[in-house]
C-alpha cells in the first residue's frame, strides 16, 4: 500500500490533497465535511478584517460545451468575523486533530500581522499561508497581489510573519508577474518554510454581449477577477517547474492551479509539488472528487513502484530544460495505423491548413498517407486524431549525433538539414 503522507515545510498531512483557501474552505462545518470525504488538509479562507462582498461573484468560461473549464471570481477574503472563524478552527482541530489546518492571512501592518498570527496559532493553526496573490479588490487596498508583485515587500512581510509565528509559514505567490523566480526567492529570503502557487490570474471571464457588460455582472458594471479552473493548469505547471528547477530555490512547494483529478495532481508532484491544493473542481462538483484523486494516485504509485510521495516529488524536473538544450537532431515522423484509422481526415485538414502539408488524402480510401520526406514531426496530427494510438510519432534514425542549438553555437556541432522549410 503506497504511503500518501506528506510533509510540506513541516506541515504534515495524511495525503497531499488540500482544499485551497477559497469558498470551499470558508467555514468549520464545510471543512469538517471535506475531511470526512477524505481531504488531507485545508487552507482556511483568508482571514483579515472582514469585508463586504458583491453580487454576483463568479463567472465561468464554457469551452466546447464544458461549463467552467475556466472560472473566475471577484470575491474577496472572508466576510465572517474573526472570532467566529477562530472558534471554528479550534472546533475543527478538536474533531480532526491529524488533518492540518493552514490559515490563510491577509492584513496590512506588522502589528496587524502579529496579532492575527498569534490568534490563529492559539486557535490551533498547523501552518500559515500568506495571501500575497489575490489579484482583485484587495490589491487595490495595497494587499494581495500588490504585495506578491514586489519582492522587497514580499520579503519584508514574510519576515514579519516568520518572526511572529511558531508554526510553518507558506507564502502564496501570484502568477501576475513576468517571472515567478524572484518572487519565490523573496519568500525564501524572508524565511518562509514553503511556497504555494499559483494564485488566480487577472482576467475578464466573459462579456454579456446583449447587455455590453463583462461578467460577472454587478448591476451595470463588472471588474477584473481571478482566473482559475482546469484551463489554468499549464500556466501553473510552468510556474511550479520554474521554481523547482531554480538551483538556489530550496523551499517545498504546494501546487495549485486547475487540479481536477489524480492525474493533474501527479503532474504537479512530478514537477516539484509535495502537496496540491484544489478549489474550482470542488466548487463545481463538491468534496466527493477527492475519492478518485486518492484512489487514482495510489494506483499510479503502485504501477510505478513509488511507495512514498517523496519519491515522486520533482521526478520530471530534470527533464525540464531551456529550448537551447533540446536535441535538434532528434527526428520523428507521423505514422498512421491504417487498421485503427476511422477516416475522419482531421489530420489532413490540420496538416494542410495548420502545419506542413505532408498528410494527403488517397484515392479510393479514407485512410490518408504521410509524406515522411516532408513530415516535420510536429505532432498536430496526433493531437487532432480522435483514435487513441492511431497516429504515432516514430523516431527516425537519421545518422546525426545529438546537437542542441547551444552546442551548435558554442561547439559547432553539426545539425541535420531542415525539413518542410521550402
Q: Which is nearer to other proteins, 305 or 388 (CB)?
A: 388
In the DSSP assignment, the letter for residue 417 is: P
Which segments within 74-224 are labelled E, that is strand? 101-105, 127-131, 169-172, 194-197, 201-203, 206-208, 213-215
In sequence order, which residues have a C-beta less than 8 Å from that of residue 67 and are 6 or more positions away?
60
User: At closest approach, how far in Å is the CB of 223 from other proteins?
Assistant: 26
CB nearer to other proteins: give 82 or 344.
344
On whether the CB atoms of residues 202 and 227 are closer than 8 A, the answer is yes
In three-state form (DSSP H/G/I as H, E/B as E, the rest C), the secondary structure along 190-253 is CCCCEEEECCCEEECCEEECCCCEEECCECCECCCEEEECHHHHHHHHHHHHHHHHCCCCCCCE
3-class secondary-structure state, position 121: helix
Quick check: 193 and 9 in contact, CB under 8 A?
A: yes
Nearer to other proteins, 219 or 386 (CB): 386
Cα–Cα dist 256/258, whole Å: 7
Q: Tell the smallest beta-carbon distance from residue 340 to other proteins (Å).
A: 9
Q: Give the nearer residue to other proteins in terms of CB position, either 218 or 344.
A: 344
User: Annotated catalytic residue: which of 134, 228, 279, 378?
Assistant: 134
Cβ 279 to other proteins, closest distance in Å? Answer: 26
Phi then psi dihedrals of residue 395, to 5 deg: -70, 140
46-58 burial, b for 16+ CB within 10 Å, e for fewer? bbbeeeeebeeeb
Close Cβ partners of 177 (under 8 Å, ≥ 6 residues apart): 148, 149, 183
Taking the complex as a whole, the smallest distance from the CB of residue 384 to other proteins amounts, in Å, to 9
**Where do contacts with other proteins occur on this chain (CB under 8 A)?**
64-65, 342-346, 348-349, 361, 366, 386-387
Looking at the Cβ atoms of 348 and 378, the one nearer to other proteins is: 348
Is 134 one of the annotated active-site residues of the chain? yes
CA 327 to chain centre: 28
Q: 177 or 346: whose CB is closer to other proteins?
A: 346
Catalytic residue positions, numbered: 134
Amino acid at each position: 500500500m503506497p504511503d500518501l503522507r506528506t510533509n510540506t515545510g513541516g506541515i504534515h498531512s495524511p495525503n497531499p490533497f488540500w482544499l485551497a483557501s477559497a469558498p470551499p474552505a470558508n467555514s468549520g462545518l464545510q471543512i469538517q465535511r471535506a475531511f470526512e470525504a477524505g481531504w488531507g488538509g485545508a487552507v482556511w479562507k483568508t482571514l483579515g478584517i472582514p469585508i463586504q462582498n458583491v453580487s454576483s461573484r463568479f463567472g465561468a468560461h464554457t469551452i466546447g460545451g464544458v461549463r467552467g473549464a475556466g472560472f473566475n471570481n471577484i470575491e474577496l477574503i472572508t466576510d465572517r468575523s474573526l472570532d467566529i472563524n477562530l472558534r471554528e478552527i479550534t472546533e475543527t482541530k478538536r474533531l480532526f486533530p491529524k488533518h492540518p489546518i493552514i490559515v490563510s492571512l491577509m492584513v496590512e501592518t506588522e502589528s496587524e500581522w502579529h496579532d492575527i498570527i498569534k490568534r490563529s496559532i492559539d486557535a490551533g493553526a498547523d501552518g500559515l499561508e500568506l495571501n500575497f496573490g489575490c489579484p482583485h479588490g484587495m490589491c487595490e487596498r495595497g494587499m494581495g497581489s500588490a504585495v506578491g508583485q514586489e519582492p522587497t515587500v514580499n520579503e519584508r512581510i514574510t519576515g514579519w510573519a516568520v518572526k511572529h509565528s511558531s508554526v510553518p509559514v507558506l507564502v502564496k505567490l501570484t502568477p501576475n508577474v513576468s517571472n515567478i523566480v524572484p518572487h519565490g526567492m523573496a519568500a525564501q529570503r524572508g524565511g518562509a518554510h514553503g511556497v504555494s502557487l499559483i494564485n488566480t490570474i487577472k482576467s475578464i471571464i466573459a462579456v454579456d454581449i446583449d447587455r455590453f457588460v463583462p461578467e460577472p455582472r454587478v448591476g451595470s458594471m463588472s471588474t477584473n477577477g481571478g482566473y482559475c479552473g482546469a484551463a489554468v493548469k499549464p500556466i501553473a505547471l510552468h510556474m511550479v517547474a520554474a521554481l523547482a528547477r531554480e538551483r538556489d530555490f530550496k523551499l517545498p512547494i504546494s501546487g495549485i492551479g486547475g487540479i481536477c483529478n489524480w492525474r493533474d495532481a501527479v503532474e504537479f508532484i512530478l514537477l516539484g509539488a509535495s502537496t496540491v491544493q484544489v478549489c474550482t473542481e470542488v466548487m463545481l462538483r463538491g468534496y466527493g472528487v477527492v475519492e478518485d484523486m486518492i484512489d487514482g494516485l495510489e494506483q499510479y504509485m503502485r504501477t510505478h513502484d513509488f511507495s512514498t510521495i517523496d519519491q515522486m516529488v520533482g521526478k520530471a524536473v530534470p527533464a525540464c530544460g531551456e529550448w537551447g538544450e533540446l536535441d535538434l537532431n532528434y527526428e520523428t515522423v507521423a505514422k498512421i495505423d491504417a487498421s485503427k484509422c476511422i477516416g475522419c481526415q482531421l489530420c489532413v485538414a490540420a496538416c494542410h491548413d495548420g502545419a506542413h502539408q505532408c498528410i494527403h488524402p488517397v484515392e479510393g480510401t479514407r485512410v490518408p498517407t504521410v509524406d515522411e520526406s516532408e513530415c516535420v514531426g510536429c505532432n498536430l496530427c496526433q493531437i487532432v486524431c480522435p483514435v487513441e494510438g492511431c497516429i504515432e510519432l516514430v523516431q527516425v534514425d537519421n545518422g546525426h549525433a545529438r546537437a542542441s542549438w547551444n552546442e551548435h553555437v558554442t561547439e559547432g556541432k553539426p545539425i541535420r538539414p531542415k525539413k518542410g522549410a521550402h
